[in-house]
């Protein structure tokens, strides 16, 4: 299994276009040693030719341009994207579908709740029908694994995760299973397993057991501290309120990952305020000490 990190930042990317927090200013003036990052998305393949896109960020055009296999050049019009999986219906994970309209129809896998949001509050499925039929919906059943014809050696198992629906959702304050999912992706030939959860608000005992059975954990790295955005003066909500488990503190992501010593551990979906973006920060040094990696755009993983 080949896993390509197309984008590794949370919504807004890094540096965020309208933000002057210490990280964004430091990057712009050159005083911060860090890498620019686009908004979170990955691609997965079993052969390096046909790729499943997991989430379609607003930065999708630049991400595809930066990864050569996404333009195999087999025909006058071509793409390496064979299918799309949506983990949720958040704007920073779905808006890129609009930029892919010239390639419609696209085969899209998502849950009932995500399909409902993208047919009502943010009706991408309806809007894109005008481009060669638009998006062909393939239902993700929450209690069943599925395969995708273009990558037959990969088995995808959805994991309902606790999170909030987007602000535009008709059920914003009425959460349902399927608003947000993680994925176990298993290579049926090699046995390699990826646990992918860019939005993860809570890890209970059953989920921890599932994570323990995976070879690589690609998990929520949004914030270092739960009140990070409040302390930096750029927001009013905590990480938990937004459905993200902070790395630091009791019960935080680092404590969770400490219980999983055998797995490769990689943080993704990193907010522009997170001090781990600073490669010289004590927080980054703590990750190195704990053998936890920070995803970056262009990172490749093979399982």
pLDDT in tens, the chain (303 residues): 999 999 999 999 999 999 999 999 999 999 999 999 999 999 999 999 999 999 999 999 999 999 999 999 999 999 999 999 999 999 999 999 999 999 999 999 999 999 999 999 999 999 999 999 999 999 999 999 999 999 999 999 999 997 778 888 988 888 889 999 999 999 999 999 999 999 998 999 999 999 999 999 999 999 999 788 788 878 777 667 777 899 999 999 999 999 999 999 999 999 999 999 999 999 999 999 999 999 999 999 999
Over its C-alpha atoms, the chain yields an Rg (Å, rounded) of 18
Q: Would you say 221 and 269 are in contact if contact means Cβ atoms under 8 Å apart?
A: yes
160 Cβ contact list (under 8 Å, min separation 6): 142, 177, 178, 180, 181
This prediction's pTM: 0.96
- pLDDT value for 235: 78
- pLDDT value for 231: 83
- pLDDT value for 243: 75
- pLDDT value for 237: 79
Query: Strand 151-160 vs strand 181-187: parallel, antiparallel, or unpaired?
Result: antiparallel
- pLDDT value for 8: 98
Q: Which CATH superfamily is domain 2-302 in?
A: Ribonuclease Z/Hydroxyacylglutathione hydrolase-like (3.60.15.10)
Question: Omega before 15 cis (within 30°)?
Answer: yes
- pLDDT value for 228: 83
How much is the mean pLDDT over the chain? 95
Looking at beta carbons, which pairs linking 254-259 to residues 24 or more positions away fall under 8 Å?
A: 254/286, 254/287, 254/290, 254/292, 256/203, 256/208, 256/211, 257/217, 257/219, 257/290, 257/292, 258/290, 259/208, 259/212
Question: Whole-angstrom Cα distance, residue 200 to residue 176?
Answer: 15
């Amino acid at each position: 299994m080949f896993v390509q990190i197309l984008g590794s930042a949370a919504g807004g990317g890094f540096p965020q276009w309208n933000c002057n927090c210490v990280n964004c200013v430091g990057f712009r003036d050159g005083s911060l040693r860090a890498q620019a990052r686009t908004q979170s998305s990955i691609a997965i393949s079993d052969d390096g030719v046909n790729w499943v896109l997991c989430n379609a960020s607003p930065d999708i055009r630049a991400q595809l341009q930066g990864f050569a296999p996404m333009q195999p050049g087999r025909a006058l019009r071509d793409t390496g994207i064979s299918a799309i999986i949506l983990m949720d219906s958040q704007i920073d994970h779905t808006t890129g579908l609009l930029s892919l309209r010239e390639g419609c129809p696209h085969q899209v896998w998502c849950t009932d709740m995500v399909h409902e949001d993208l047919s009502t509050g943010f009706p991408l499925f309806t809007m894109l029908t005008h481009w060669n039929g638009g998006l062909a919906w393939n239902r993700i059943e929450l209690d069943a694994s599925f395969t995708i014809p273009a990558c037959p050696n990969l088995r995808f198992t959805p994991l309902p995760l606790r999170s909030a629906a987007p602000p535009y959702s008709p059920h914003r304050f009425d959460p349902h299973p399927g608003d947000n999912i993680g994925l176990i992706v298993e290579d049926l030939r090699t046995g390699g397993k990826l646990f992918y959860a860019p939005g993860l608000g809570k890890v209970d005992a059953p989920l921890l057991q599932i994570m323990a059975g995976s070879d690589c954990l690609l998990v929520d790295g949004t914030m270092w501290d739960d009140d990070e955005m409040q302390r930096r003066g750029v927001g009013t909500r905590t990480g938990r309120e937004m459905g993200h488990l902070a790395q630091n503190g009791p019960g935080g992501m680092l404590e969770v990952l400490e219980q999983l010593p055998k797995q490769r551990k990689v943080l993704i979906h990193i907010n522009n305020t997170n001090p781990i973006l600073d490669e010289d920060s004590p927080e980054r040094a703590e990750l190195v000490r704990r053998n936890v990696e920070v995803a970056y755009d262009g990172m490749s993983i093979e399982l």
